[in-house]
Structure 1
Amino acid sequence: MPGEKEILTDIAFSQTIYEGLLLFFRAIRVEAVTMTSGVAFVFPQRMEAKLLEEWERLEGKSPELFAWFFRESKRSGYETHYL
């Protein structure tokens, strides 16, 4: 989440993601552990300003925010595969 200083560890991402990519995912917190929901949308770094603008516009509207990032990932994001 923009501006927050929390560490998230996801072993699968750390083995497959490339530096310079932007990730959108739902973070799930269970007690002291934060993990991804299992779905992430990957975007090129050049989209940072647009993604942050939409994040701020839809902040607090979780279903709409997730839906916007899903649609945008189909238009401008990178295809992801889960194993």
Structure 2
Amino acid sequence: MSTVLNKIAEKTESEHVDLVLELFYELSSASSFDIWVMPVFGRFAQKIIEEKNDAELPKIFKFYAILCAKRKPLTKTIGNCLRRL
């Protein structure tokens, strides 16, 4: 699967970034996401950054923010901090 995702990420033109991000988002629930998909997403994000594609850069950060919020919701984090006080 990572080979296919690598090809998609490598060949993606700027007009298709939204579709690729949606694909990564849909795969983010997979149990092996961190092992197989996240490295591919990292290379995809690096490509966008290196291309200095300013219009697409906020979408990359938004994906990371959504992924982090999905994995560890802010309310859970705040609750843990409050219990320590």
Tell me the TM-score normalized by structure 1. 0.31
The structure with the greater share of residues assigned to helix is: 2
The structure with the greater share of residues assigned to strand is: 1
Which of structures 1 and 2 has the larger relative contact order (alpha carbons within 8 angstroms, sep 6+)?
A: 2
Q: Is the radius of gyration larger for structure 1 or structure 2?
A: 2
